[in-house]
């Protein structure tokens, strides 16, 4: 397996580095303070044909691969993790299930506008009583004549305030979970944006409330009763996105710490000359590189059509824990300034924590890895 980037992947990395530094980074701190969602950034990304990057051109996508998707998420997250998670969720949770399991009619109706950036993608699985235990879904869809009537709620849903429709799960029988594509403007569908979060302040995280929301068989995503399995497959791909997001956060925090260490003078010399600081930075650089390679490996396996469940969990688990360690040390290297908003690393530290929780907690990832290795 060769991880030399292709010419196209290098081009995408350069494009995204320039875009992230020119369009995303300048307002990141202010958006974090004001909790403003950067809708204009995603409009510009749509103009660059990035909102459907890994999907076929026939659906308005860019025809790129999963490694390219990971590069985009990393470069965005390197300067603003809120932007990174918004994009990652749009692609891996919003677009992917429709591409993987949707009918041709559904792809024409829903996937094309997603890839064109005319709406953001969202995915409703988690419920107040069904987090790690995703099989504990309580939202119900009852068939009445030609329609399904859905009642229930979802929580911690990314992008729903800016989504015209959401793919979500509901019980359609005893222990039978089915996925539906539900318009957010349907009667009885309410999106509640009222969370006060630790980090990722300029990403959109919502609750969904469904009260007698009506859809038809044409809105069933995939086969009836296969929703749980479909969403587990979706989460495998989503974990590559979270892994890439974690690598980006870690890279950004490391670069800030390295720059600060080369400028900060204590005891008559730059603190980068002290071995204690050098060892911290060396460990950070090493772990980031290892995490990036794990993300690329999982992405490469996915692109080869090979099984990647174990590698997706490994890259997500390792990269998220690396991000927390790196951000912690970046704050430490900054000393008292690291605790202050103006030095950015405290934002990276707060944002990194979600990577250990979203798309399956670290504990769930270890369960998956243990299962995959035959325990």
Class of residue 318 by CB neighbours under 10 A (exposed 0-12, middle 13-18, buried 19+): buried
359 counts as catalytic: yes
Query: How far lies 295's CA from each of 100, 215, 374, in Å?
Result: 21, 38, 22
3-state secondary structure (DSSP) of residue 130: strand
d(CA 100, CA 119): 19
- ∠ CA 120-14-52, nearest 5°, is 25
Q: CB–CB of 254/326 below 8 Å?
A: yes
Nearest to 137 by CA among 227, 37, 38, 249: 227
Q: CB–CB of 127/169 below 8 Å?
A: no
d(CA 123, CA 121): 7
Q: CB–CB of 315/247 below 8 Å?
A: no
φ, ψ for residue 203 (rounded to 5)? -95, 160
120: left (phi over 0), alpha (psi -120 to 50) or beta: beta
β-strand pairing of 176-183 with 265-266: unpaired
Among residues 75, 359, 363, 372, which one is catalytic? 359
d(CA 85, CA 90): 8
Q: Which residue numbers are catalytic?
A: 359
């Amino acid at each position: 397996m060769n991880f030399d980037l292709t010419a196209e992947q290098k081009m995408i990395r350069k494009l995204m580095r320039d875009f992230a530094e020119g369009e995303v980074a300048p307002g990141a701190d202010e958006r974090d303070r004001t909790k403003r969602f950067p809708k204009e950034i995603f409009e510009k990304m749509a103009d660059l044909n990035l909102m459907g990057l890994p999907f076929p051109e026939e659906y308005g996508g860019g025809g790129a691969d999963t490694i390219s998707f990971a590069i985009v998420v990393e470069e965005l997250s390197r300067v603003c993790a809120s932007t990174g998670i918004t994009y990652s969720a749009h692609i891996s949770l919003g677009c992917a299930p429709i591409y993987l399991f949707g009918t041709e009619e559904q792809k024409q109706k829903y996937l094309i506008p997603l890839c064109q950036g005319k709406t953001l993608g969202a995915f409703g699985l988690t419920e107040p009583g069904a987090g790690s235990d995703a099989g504990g879904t309580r939202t119900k869809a009852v068939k009445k004549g030609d329609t399904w009537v859905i009642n229930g709620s979802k929580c911690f849903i990314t992008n729903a305030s800016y989504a015209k429709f959401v793919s979500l799960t509901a019980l359609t029988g005893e222990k039978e979970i089915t996925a539906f594509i539900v318009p957010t403007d349907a009667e009885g569908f309410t999106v509640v944006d009222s969370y006060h979060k630790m980090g990722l302040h300029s990403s959109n995280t919502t609750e969904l409330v469904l009260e007698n929301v009506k859809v038809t068989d044409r809105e069933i995503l995939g086969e009836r009763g296969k929703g749980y399995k479909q969403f587990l497959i979706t989460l495998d791909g989503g974990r590559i996105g979270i892994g890439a997001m974690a690598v980006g956060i870690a890279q950004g925090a490391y670069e800030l710490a390295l720059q600060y260490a080369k400028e900060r003078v204590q005891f008559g010399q730059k603190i980068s000359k002290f071995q204690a600081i050098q060892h911290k930075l060396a460990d950070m650089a090493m772990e980031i590189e290892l995490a990036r390679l794990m993300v690329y490996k999982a992405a490469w396996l996915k692109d080869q059509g090979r099984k990647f469940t174990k590698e997706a969990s490994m890259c997500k688990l390792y990269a998220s824990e690396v991000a927390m360690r790196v951000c912690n040390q970046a704050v430490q290297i900054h000393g008292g300034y690291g605790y202050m908003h103006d030095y950015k690393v405290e934002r990276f530290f707060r944002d990194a924590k979600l990577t250990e929780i979203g798309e399956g907690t670290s504990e769930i990832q270890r369960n998956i890895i243990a299962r995959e290795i035959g325990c």
